[in-house]
Amino acid sequence: MKLQFREPGINPAVLSGWEDAPPRKGFFTDTSICIGCKACEVACKEWNHVPEDGLEWLGTSYDNTGSLGASTWRHVAFIEQPIAKPASENGIASNGSANPDFRWLMSSDVCKHCTEAGCLDVCPTGALFRTEFGTVVVQDDICNGCGYCVPACPFGVIDRRDGSDSAKNVGIAQKCTLCYDRIGAGMTPACAQACPTESIQFGDLDELRVRAQERIELLHQQGNKSARLYGEDPNDGIGGAGAIFLLLDEPEVYGLPPNPVVTTRDLPEMWKRAGAAALALIVGLAAASLKR
């Protein structure tokens, strides 16, 4: 287990040993212009051969995939939210009236490609690795299915695939690769390529952060004061995300943790204390045996 360094703002690819790493790549997902078409989900499945993940009505929303998982690497949430706000802050009106009583929040969620990635920290086989683009990728031919990465992710992103024995990669941990094969060939990730509204924007993370800041300022000027950025702060509990979001409400409304913290952050301190306790025990035992 090799813990990532904690240096806010530093490209994690460089810290992982990539010499001459290119600018860090990532996503800016602007949920304010998502129309919930799910083209991103479908494009991801098609390009990456991700199997179908259930087509049942959930009974809780018009969404039918429910959440991110081993077979849903992009997930578009449909959140039907009751409101008592001016129409100018609404999403899609139910009946076209000037003052609908609810709004739709659509958000295409994905792996955050964390700067401090708990999944990567705990992987014992090296199946999870940091790419030269600063992204986090799992190699399905190296993963042994131990599942340590699953509880280590503060967002519940990575998971082992269920299914019949004949299905692909059953038992293996799976998640978004940020289309490592495509971006390595100078292409745009499939989900961003398919998005008709440019809700999903791909590029150099530094540029995306500037774009996200400009967009949030514009929304605030237009009176949408509840809009906010998520994952853009390099000083947050994961050192900032490689996939940042513009949300129209609190992160919890979208099922996102408000203050995510990398689950391995306290490990060095815990090891230090465990080592000190073990040392004290050995000294005590030695002293007791000398007294006999």
- Interface residues toward ligand SF4, by CB under 6 A: 34-40, 43-44, 47-48, 73-74, 76, 106, 108, 110-114, 117-119, 136, 153, 155, 157-158, 175-179, 189-191, 194-197, 199-200
Residue closer to ligand SF4 (CB basis): 106 or 216: 106
Residue 131: closest CA among 167, 89, 198, 178: 178
Q: How far is the CB of 276 from ligand SF4 (least distance, A)?
A: 29
**Residue 115 to residue 83: CA distance in whole angstroms:** 35
Which residues partner with 245 through β-bridges? 29, 230
Beta bridge partners of 109: 75
Instruction: Return the closest-CA partner of residue 193 out of 182, 177, 204.
Output: 182
Helix intervals (H) in 132-243: 149-152, 180-184, 190-194, 205-221
- Closest CB to ligand SF4 among 74 and 209? 74
CB of 139 to ligand SF4, least distance (A): 14
What is the nearest approach in angstroms of ligand SF4 to the Cβ of residue 142?
16
Q: Indicate the residue among 62 and 280 with the shorter CB distance to ligand SF4.
A: 62
Q: CA 195 from chain center: how many Å?
A: 18
CA distances from 260 to 29, 144, 198 (A): 18, 27, 26
- State in angstroms the smallest separation of the CB of 191 from ligand SF4: 3
Token pair in block for residue 272? 């230090």
By three-state DSSP, how is residue 171 classified? coil
In angstroms, give the least distance from the CB of 286 to ligand SF4.
42
Looking at beta carbons only, is 65 or 90 nearer to ligand SF4? 65
Q: Which is nearer to ligand SF4, 42 or 101 (CB)?
A: 42
